[in-house]
Amino acid sequence: MPTDRKIRRALLSVTDKTGLADFARGLLAYDVELLSTGGTAQALRDAGCPVTDISEYTGFPEMLGGRVKTLHPKVHGGILGIRGNPEHAVAMSQHGILPIDLVCVNLYRFEETVSRDGVTRAEAVESIDIGGPSMIRSAAKNHEDVAVVTDPQSYPAVLEEMKAEGGGLRLSTRQRLAAEAFALTARYDAAITGYLSAREEDPGFPEALALRFRKLDELRYGENPHQKAAFYRESVPVTPSIAFAERLGEGKELSYNNILDLDAALRCVNEFDAPTIVIVKHNNPCGVASARTLREAYERALEADPVSAFGSIVASNRAIDLATAESMAAPGRFIEAIVAPEYAEPALQHLLKKPAWGKSLRALRAGTLGNTTISRRPGALREYRSVMGGLLVQTPDLSLMEGVEAEAVVGTPTEAQTSDLLFAWKVCKHVKSNAIVLVKDGQTVGIGAGQMSRLDSVKIALEKAGPKARGAVLASDAFFPFPDALEAAVAGGITAAIQPGGSKRDSEVFTSARKSGTVILLTGQRHFRH
């Protein structure tokens, strides 16, 4: 069987008409007959390309508002007929079916439609393409004989190969195009599934999970240089999100670890209303502070752990102004990447040009922060994490004191303590478990993260804080299993603690707190982050 097939007849029916006229002219240069539908046929005529309407070829008019036009045996028979199969040849001849050697189709913009605010169910359903996926799948199935082109970016390469192959395409190319086509229809069906499922009050977890992500970048490497990696994002925009943030300047490409750290920083800073800076290192906050001005917030976040902050990731919940940029770019400071809602132009130029590391800085604009996606697509939000041979799926940890009120079970906190306890609780949610966060005056002073023992996390946080632990408050992402960790914190100067409660030894912990005069608030909510 020959590995190449000369293209004599092509069917073009596209929503995205980018490059269509040039592609059609390229096909005509090899005497390819063009079949087309509706708006595509009109666009080709407007470009001066001779074309035969699909209704003229099938002898059947387009009908039902365009819903039925290519769903016809003369279309699908021409695509699916196996060249060289005598039975297929006889049947095609008997019914006047002409071979179609290339199918160029892209689909109705379903994902774009459903991502618009206020789109109705009727509008969404009407944007589901039926004929397009059918033609794409038919052509991809019969790729031994038929080429299927679904991406306008493929047009130049297809024409170039036709030139090299005398008007045909190699089997390897047809097979690659078929794989791309099936990936497109799979993603398209997943988008429809996701939309319809998300409209349910509680969509739950389906028996068969269909994911829809588009490749954004191939990364230089993964967590380590010997690992390959790529960055994908959801087809429907999610905000705020690193995947949909805009890169500014000419800085280095984002690395796998940069993306993880930026995501951690953005999630954390998104919890706060006052001007706040979050500094992240190795996927954990190392300094978080709120203040009246963003510059002051940055200085205080940096002060929390200046050693760890060197070569870090920074997130802001306010536009970066020039004063903050000047502080960030001060001598002796080094930032790998920054994500913020916006940048004042003088601030951005200062960051990109002033420090020696500015030329490699990754600056990302995330747009408006706040849970904009949460209110619009509550049922669609899922988090995914792989294990060897499997995938874990969960709803994201969005609630923070939602529907609950912290209960003072030991003592009564002062207004200042309450403010700091809630601040610490927000940060603690974003620290790897076992997580301990010490806060004083709206600033983290010590963080213990990712330890196997909660007592060890307390010790690390106290060591980081040093004298600043005196008068600070503590947040713990889960209950204290024994009184020892709280007692160590109190010995270090902690005056109040917030934690979920729920340990079998809660009463022992509370008794110890009463003896030391330490305030205890319970949330009833755990925030593990593994």
Q: How far apart are the first and last CA of the chain?
A: 55
Active site residues: 141, 282
* Measured CA angle at 323 (ends 317, 328), to 5 deg: 75
- Concatenate the DSSP letters of all residues of 177-195 into one string: HHHHHHHHHHHHHHHHHHH
pTM of the model: 0.79
Tokens of 231: 């960055």
- pLDDT digits (tens), the chain, 530 positions: 445 678 999 999 998 899 999 999 999 999 999 998 888 889 999 999 998 888 878 776 665 666 666 668 888 888 888 888 888 888 888 888 889 999 999 887 777 777 777 778 888 888 787 888 888 999 999 998 999 999 999 999 999 999 988 898 999 999 999 999 998 888 888 877 777 776 555 667 777 777 778 889 999 999 999 999 999 988 767 788 999 999 998 888 999 999 999 999 999 999 999 999 999 999 999 999 999 999 999 999 999 999 999 999 999 999 999 999 999 999 999 999 999 999 999 999 999 999 999 999 999 999 988 866 654 454 567 888 999 999 898 888 887 766 567 889 999 999 999 999 999 999 999 999 999 999 999 999 999 999 999 999 999 999 999 999 999 999 999 999 999 999 999 999 999 999 999 999 999 999 999 999 999 999 998 999 98
Query: What is each CA distance from 28 to 6, 24, 88, in whole angstroms?
Result: 13, 6, 27
Beta bridge partners of 383: 394
Structure tokens at 499: 């934690």
Distance CA 298, CA 300 (A): 5
Pick from 107, 111, 171: nearest CA to 135: 107
Helix axis angle for 484-491 and 454-465, nearest 10°, is 10
Which residue ranges form the domains of the chain, and what is each CATH number?
4-198 (3.40.50.1380), 243-365 (3.40.140.20), 407-522 (3.40.140.20)
* Closest C-alpha among 173, 223, 214, 163 to residue 191: 214
